[in-house]
Amino acid sequence: RVAAPRCAVPRAVRVQHIRCLNRLLLEPNECKLTHDGCVVALLPHDDTRVEHVRNVLRAREGEGLRVGVLDGGACEASVAWVPAEDEDGPRNLRLTIGDVSVLRSIDEAHRPRIDLLLAMPRPLQFARLLPAVASLGVRHIWITGAARVEKSYFSSHLLRAEKAAELRATLVEGLAQAGDTAVPTLAALVCYLPLGQRVAGMSRKSWSC
């Protein structure tokens, strides 16, 4: 028997976690509609998305790039590198989208139809789980208590109202890896027993990110 060859990739490289950006996602307020019927987004040179496009994708002037608008459409955009205030430094990224339909909100019929019920894990694990959960394509994420869930988990700073933007950013990170634009809603319900009744009466605006 001939032994299978071992992977020649160094161990340090094999275990390294690399975050993928399979679609560059834009906030609706980053998109401007021009007089000629195009959608333009200008991102600063120090934006993490721009750094990924520059250093990983190495997109050149005029090339196409997969983009999407959060809770909107998805298509391709044309890349343009424009000078920043420091003309000798890194350039800003201007994306031009020819299809204005990307600005239309996703209707409920085209959103994912899967809801996830998740017993509250340890707060640190909770933050790490969200990108993976979002990449699966879910509509609602319900965080609930259970017999082995410590109630102190629900006192974590991650569940405070001022952290909603950070939680949403972790969800968007997962969407960028999956190439999806539909942002899941997130709701925390400490008590498990009346969950069915409460879920039926809650709207998308309830503790949503």
- Listing DSSP states for 135-197 in one string gives HH--SEEEEE--TTS-GGGGGSGGGSGGGHHHHHHHHHHHHHHHT---PPEEEEES-STTHHH
Please tell me the predicted confidence (pLDDT) of residue 109.
86
Please tell me the predicted confidence (pLDDT) of residue 9.
35
Is 13 inside any structural domain?
A: no
CA atoms of 177 and 17, how far apart (whole Å): 13
Is 10 inside any structural domain?
A: no
The pLDDT of residue 18 is above 90: no
Mean pLDDT of all residues in the chain?
A: 83
Q: Give the CA distances from residue 83 to residues 33, 87, 112, 149, in Å, rounded to whole numbers and listed in that order.
A: 21, 5, 40, 52
Q: At what angle do helices 123-136 and 164-178 cross, to 10 degrees?
A: 40
* Domain closes at, from 103, 131, 162: 103
Is 206 inside any structural domain?
A: no
Residue 116, strand partner residues? 141
Domain hosting 54: range is 24-103
97 and 28 in a common domain:
yes
The CATH number of the domain where 90 resides is what?
Answer: 2.40.240
123 and 76 in a common domain:
no
The pLDDT of residue 90 is above 60: yes
Is 18 inside any structural domain?
A: no
The structure's pTM equals 0.77
The CATH number of the domain where 142 resides is what?
Answer: 3.40.1280.10
55 and 119 in a common domain:
no
User: Distance between alpha carbon 85 and the CA centroid of its chain, in Å?
Assistant: 29
Burial class (CB in 10 A: 0-12, 13-18, 19+), 53: buried
Is 16 inside any structural domain?
A: no
156 and 117 in a common domain:
yes
155 and 117 in a common domain:
yes
Q: How many domains does the chain divide into?
A: 2
